[in-house]
Chains A and B, each alone.
Chain A
Amino acid sequence: MIVEFKLNGEDVKVETGLAMRLLDVIRNDFDLKGTKEGCAEGECGACIVFLDGMIVNSCMMPMNNVIGKEVVTIEGFSKTERYKEIEKAFMVEGAVQCGFCTPGMVMATEGLLKLGISLTEEDIKVGLSGNICRSTGYEAIYRAVRKLTQEVVLND
């Protein structure tokens, strides 16, 4: 059937099944390859996108739940001012190695930042605990996000 939803700010239609995974639709039907499949069981966070402003694992999201909703992927988010701050913090802290988890990590980071409240170390770590990175040991990611939460909360 035809599913209509909003993707990175545009109204889109796609011929698909209601049980199809959002991850496959954005990667294959819309050729948006920044969202990655790591585990395909909702454990690793490499496929995180925003669905009506909430972070979701797109590998666990059937298209039925996307009808009429708004999806933002890394391609859409990377055009924002907020993204630039995250990119800078990730670069400066060295929060990237193999890069496969990174777009998902960026989306999870924004999921925390948009709460707009000051966050403790535990808040940040629990907030990122759904994202697996096998390379960095998370320390540089943690530092980048802590810096961002401090700056963003101060600025807002």
Chain B
Amino acid sequence: MKITDRINRVDGVEKINGTARYIEDIKFENLHYGRTLRSEISKGRIKCIKYPQLPENLWVIDANDTFINQVAMITTDMPIFADGYVNYKGEPIALIAGKDKNEIIRFMKNIEIEYEEEEGIFDFGSGDNIFSEQEYTKGDLETLEYDKVFEKSYSTGYQEQLYMEKQGLVGDFSDGRLIIYGSMQCPYYIKNALIHSTGLADHDIRVIQSETGGAFGGKEEYPSLLACQVAAASMKIGAPVRLIFDRREDIVFTTKRHPSKTLVKTYLKDHRIVGMEFDFGIDAGPYLGLSDVVLQRGILSLTGCYLIENLRVKGTTYKTNNIFTGAFRGFGAPQTLFALEQHMNQLANHLGYDPLEFRRPYFVKRGDISSTSGIYNEEIKLDEMADRLAEMAGYDKLKEEMGSYRGIGISFIPHGGGFTGDGEAEHIKSVVKLKKDTDKNIHILVSSVEMGQGAKTVLSKIVASVLDIEIDRIIYENPDTLLVPDSGPTVASRTTMVVGGLLYKAALRLKDSMESDVEIEIVENYKQPDYVKWDQENLRGNAYMSYSWSAVLAVVEVDPLTLEITCKDIYAVYDVGMPMDEKTFIGQVHGGIAQGLGYAMLEVMTTKDGLIEHNSFSSYTVPTIVDMPRMHTDWILNPYKEGPYGAKAAGELTLVGVAPAIASAVENAMDIEIKELPVTSENILKELLI
């Protein structure tokens, strides 16, 4: 087959007819169920826990049952079970496990916990509750000559991944060996966390991904916590233990997108931007987890698609007693780029320019120096994308039609593919294997998971195209760490570009041996492109090996009476290098637009005393089919030489540009300034009353 062929998903049929098996569908002998005992307060010491008489067939698993009571992610600051002290409402204290779910619930009703409560911190952005800080500069702001400063503050709220399949894992310990099954993005993150927490040897731990019903970052680091819990439980009981959240638990107590506050200051001379300053803060919750990495992607993106000569950027993670926040498609960029794009829009209005034409002179080009003083190495076609967008949408005509409750807004967004800087080479060190068996079928052996995004289809297609064989000769099972090498986590829009790139090279090496009758295994190790130079300490150099780009235009209408917002149209143009499979790529585009639209105007999530108030599908409203706008999408071709068949990152990019475009469109419709996400009728009313 060829990479340009139109194909159907390789995992479609069993998902449509309901035979695909997710963790809740899989049977285990002698299965025990776990339920989490959670803190009722946000901060304080646990004085004592009074358990009722423990029936013979129930178990309490807590900090005493762990070898090391830490969840190893990047840091190890989060305990598996709170040990005498709690830091947020809902923090796990113990797991109650048994074979009868009703008995577990009855037992848990009669547990009494006495606390010595302390005052929690629920606000962030000021004060001394700083977790971590990162800073960088470019050029020289100190001696800058300017005649005007334009300064605005922006904020964004929580967003919940709301994957349709809830968090769920099974731990099965027997004969000295531990197997974890379940819904996950990163089998080796889990394995590494278990090596740390259980004290078991590497070769006695095995992690097997089951069909995963959506993740969006929500199953990046969080399942490591659950895995450590079910491992401890199964090792204590000697039987498989399953932990599957109910929906309220899943919404309220798992990681969210970080709420953020951004101060943007632009220095102007003769109506031209001569320098910018950013101060970006996020609420990390009580444990750092991935927050410092999210912060980094956020601040490294902060100048977006624009060449800014003089720059000062500061980012801060704040420690609070709110729910801990983590990975979600976009990883810091949706927050910073909302701030930047709103700012660019408001600045254009302030100076009296058209928002599209105002941006153009600042578009970055190949050879320009990036915000982190690296050189853009690849062709950048932002002008061409802007032209295409304006043409598709009929920009000039649309503009004339707008006003009085109808508006348009635009955004231009970069997204760096793969890990930041030299992360792929220094931390991930991806390895892939390709095996030809004696029947001449090809096995893809990687730790990348299919979670809906189409990894199985796209990676299989890349390999089948290189080998010029039919795709049904490719076998790509859900990863099992016993069988697959560590090709890194399924995150950061890296699967097609990085893992696919390695498989592409492996397939090229295998190609000449396809006629051979013996089994052949090819191993391919990641090698950093020569041009990537990165100084992690000072955040200097090539922050990403390549960038994908989007240009988005939104058309909205606001009901004059109720101020209800309707997004009528989204026009979007993308540069993802070369899309590997059109249908899969467009699926990412439409799905990203839906999540971006939810982030922009529907998904309100607030807390009271540290507890999430929007705790169900009826109170946390994600887009349904009737909320969707008409979507007009296109892409330009701009092959990336290090990517397989020219592919770059695609998955996250599609979400990021939607919210700023919609927010700007509401500004345009209502002649107000939007500085907060999500944009709601209530927020519009507030602005109108000021």
Residues of A participating in the B interface, judged by any CB pair closer than 8 Å: 33-41, 43-44, 46, 73-75, 78, 83, 86-87, 90-92, 94, 96-103, 106, 125-126, 128-142
Contact = CB atoms under 8 A, between A and B. Distances in A.
Interface residues of B, number: 53
Contacts of A131: 624-625
Given A132-B622, A136-B587, A138-B590, A103 B18 contact: yes
Interface in B442-468: 451-454
B16 A100 contact: no
B16 A139 contact: no
A100 B22 contact: yes
A99 B15 CA distance: 5
B573 to A, nearest CB: 17
Interface stretch (B208-216, B282-290, B308-316, B555-563): B208-216
B592 A101 contact: no
Nearest to B6: A92
B689 interface: no
Given A91-B9, A137-B628, A99 B20 contact: yes
B617 interface: yes
Contacts of A134: 161-164, 214, 216, 591, 594-595, 622
A125 B625 contact: yes
B404 interface: no
Contact of A100 (B13, B165, B595): B165
A129 B625 contact: yes
Contacts of B583: 94, 140
A98 B165 contact: yes
A129 B617 contact: no
Contacts of A141: 625
A103 B631 contact: no
Contact of B17 (A34, A36, A101): A34
Interface in B556-591: 583-584, 586-587, 589-591
A98 B17 contact: no
B396 interface: no
A37 B18 contact: no
Among A38, A100, A136: residue with most chain B CB under 10 A: A100
A98 to B, nearest CB: 3
B164 A46 contact: yes
Nearest to A94: B583
B164 A94 contact: no
A70 to B, nearest CB: 19
A98 B213 contact: yes
Contacts of A92: 8
Contacts of B165: 36, 38, 98, 100
A59 to B, nearest CB: 10
Given A87-B17, A135-B452, A44 B617 contact: yes
A96 B214 contact: no
B12 A96 contact: yes
B25 interface: yes
B454 A98 contact: no
A98 B625 contact: no
25 contacts: A38-B617, A39-B616, A40-B247, A41-B616, A41-B618, A94-B8, A94-B587, A96-B16, A97-B452, A97-B587, A98-B163, A98-B164, A99-B16, A100-B163, A100-B164, A125-B625, A130-B624, A134-B591, A134-B622, A135-B452, A135-B453, A135-B591, A136-B594, A137-B592, A138-B624
Contacts of B587: 94, 97, 135-137, 140
Interface string B606-617: 000000000011
A137 B618 contact: no
A125 B211 CA distance: 28
B16 A91 contact: yes
A139 to B, nearest CB: 4
Contacts of B452: 97-99, 135
Contacts of A33: 18, 21, 24-25
A75 B18 contact: yes
Given A103-B18, A137-B589, A140-B586, 18 more contacts: A34-B17, A36-B164, A36-B165, A43-B618, A86-B16, A96-B9, A97-B452, A97-B591, A98-B213, A98-B214, A99-B11, A131-B624, A132-B622, A133-B164, A135-B591, A136-B594, A140-B590, A141-B625
A138 B594 contact: yes
Nearest to B624: A129
Contacts of A136: 587, 590-591, 594
Closest 5 CB pairs of A and B: A34-B18, A99-B15, A98-B452, A137-B590, A100-B213
